[in-house]
Structure 1
């Protein structure tokens, strides 16, 4: 057993430490972060719900996934100030398209000027709405089935299972789905963790989703301990 293996065995949480997370950001993520993304990240930093923003490390992973599948037509559930939305727009072709759904236009408008300045707003169709009615409306048009290359879901966690069933019909075979916050701060490890009723509802949604997606034989998946946890699914059939 070498030193690295010994350290992992002795301390299974080492890869989740705040210090190591910051090391990854400082050495691997921020040096390659495009200027518009840095600008939108800094514009979000003082927001009272800044923790809603996509972790830049998860964003870097998402950029790689977008390129690996040559994503062109994408869908995003949950926008907030638009970090991952801008990242997606920067990593799809000029004639690419993003349907972006969120209840909160006010938060989106924080990042919108930066997105506009980056020259990618033409790729984005922002819809201010709960996501389920929009997804159902898309599915009424049979031409939308299997037409999306990529989906990123980062919204109300108690609906993750509902989103999954609909998004699986919209994303093509071979396409990717990414779900954020699927470790939820590790709260599922200790069910007695004190939290508000709302957070308990969100945690329950994540736990049920994690159970459901691993049982879904239509996907190949990987649960990645990056940021607050991200689950990547490839549609197989």
Structure 2
């Protein structure tokens, strides 16, 4: 159930996700999740994944662009929803190595394209296509730049989903209790919220699901 708490271009929405989450994992999924946990690799939370997969089922995207591959977990899951072609960008060589192996083991090397590059510099690598969905789950301090760089590749009516938009609740905490670097990161993420608010090309809602998920629909 969804409850709209504020009517604006950016809407903060209270959401209840069913306990079952409507998620199914095979052995490979569980292995990837265990690997991420063991090696302290941040991957999308279960509630966030359930929400993301619901969005994909609704819009049936033919092409998805992901900013931040990590070990390939979310790229594989996104493809499996409805067979979308996925292009995913990752800058960490260790993550690229693992993701490449996982994608190959899943038999999806022809369906998921892995770009080994900093997303701030990868536009030319992915600009030959347009996308129905962009999923941003990378360096939080760079969200505004990622949004600015890659949304020109989004089709009219396309959707941008961003993870970690509430950043473990830190956006609501007293800044004086945070380190200087953390305060800087929180300020940048808060500024990105404002960017979404002011961007007349999109209608955006932010859902307190997982670590916070935003959905921005390109309307202009």
Could you state the TM-score of these two structures normalised by the residue count of structure 2? 0.83
Residues 1:191 and 2:169 aligned together = no
Distance 1:183 1:70, change over 3 A: same
More helix by share: 1
Partner SS, residue 165 of structure 1 = helix
Q: In the alignment, which residue of structure 2 is the partner of 1:9? A: none
The 5-angstrom pairing of residues 1-237 of structure 1 reads 24=19, 27-29=20-22, 32-47=24-39, 49-50=40-41, 52-93=42-83, 96-135=84-123, 138-139=126-127, 144=129, 147-192=130-175, 194-237=177-220
* Separation (CA, whole Å) in 1 of partners of 2:77 and 2:159: 16
Matched residue of 2:175: which SS?
coil
Evaluate the alpha carbon distance shift between residue 133 and residue 40 of structure 1 in structure 2; reply closer, same or farther with a 3 A threshold: same
Equivalent residue pairs, number? 208
Provide the rounded CA distance (Å) in 1 between the counterparts of 2:93 and 2:79.
Answer: 18
Displacement after TM superposition at 1:171 (Å): 0.8
Q: Which segments of 5 or more consecutive residues in structure 1 lack a partner in the other structure? A: 1-14
Higher strand share: 2
Equivalent-residue separation in structure 1 for 2:47 and 2:99 (angstroms) = 19
Contact 1:43 1:111 in 2 (8 A): no
Higher relative contact order (CA 8 A, sep 6+): 2
